[in-house]
Amino acid sequence: MFDSIDFDFENNDYLYHETYIDNAIDILSDGLYVTGVNIIDAKNVIETTTLPLPYEDKEELEEFFASERSESKLRTVNAVVILACPKGEINNLAEVYDGKHNGEYFSHLVPPEHVLGYCDLERMEFYQNPYYEGYEPQIFRM
C-alpha cells in the first residue's frame, strides 16, 4: 500500500487520524477540522485528534493500519488520514478556525496542504491528496 510513497522521516513528522471513508474524502479537500476538546490531557490541540505514525517501516505500518479497522455501534473506522508537516512543527499544524462546519463547532483546522492522503482500510489502498503540497497523482495498492 505504501510502496511508492517516499516518507521523509528525517525532515517531516507524520500523524494519523482514524475516521470513516466519506469523511476521509472530505478531509482531502476541506482539511481536518479539530474540535479541540481535550479529554486526554494533550499538550496541544493537534494531539486531541491525531497520533504520530507508530512505525517508519512501511510493512509494519500496513500491518498496524490493517489492525485498526473496526466497525461497531459506537464508531466505524475504515479509513486513516495521514498528515505531514516539517519536523518539529506539529504544534503549528492546526490553524485557529473558531467556527462551524456542517453544523458542528470547531476551534482549529489543519489545512489540506498538510493532508498527505488517506488509507482505505477495506481495500488496503492509499489515495494521495491532490491538495497536498507535494502531490504526485497515483493510487497505491498492497
79: in domain: yes
Query: pLDDT per residue over 33-66, tens digit each?
Result: 988 766 666 677 887 888 898 888 888 888 888 8
45: in domain: yes
> 45, 35 in Cβ contact below 8 A?
no
- Alpha carbons 107 and 37: distance in angstroms, whole number: 9
49: in domain: yes
1: in domain: no
**Structural domain range at position 26:** 12-141
> How many independent structural domains does the chain possess?
1
Confidence band, pLDDT 50/70/90 cuts, at residue 4? low
Confidence band, pLDDT 50/70/90 cuts, at residue 72? low
Mean pLDDT over each residue of the chain, to the nearest integer: 83
22: in domain: yes
> What is the model's pLDDT at position 57?
86
Share of the chain above pLDDT 90, in %: 32
69: in domain: yes
Phi/psi class of residue 24: alpha, beta or left (left: φ > 0; alpha: ψ in -120 to 50)?
alpha
Confidence band, pLDDT 50/70/90 cuts, at residue 141? very low
> What is the model's pLDDT at position 32?
93
Q: Mean pLDDT across the stretch 63-76?
A: 75
4: in domain: no
> 52, 15 in Cβ contact below 8 A?
yes
- Examine the pLDDT at 108 and tell me if it is beyond 80: yes
133: in domain: yes
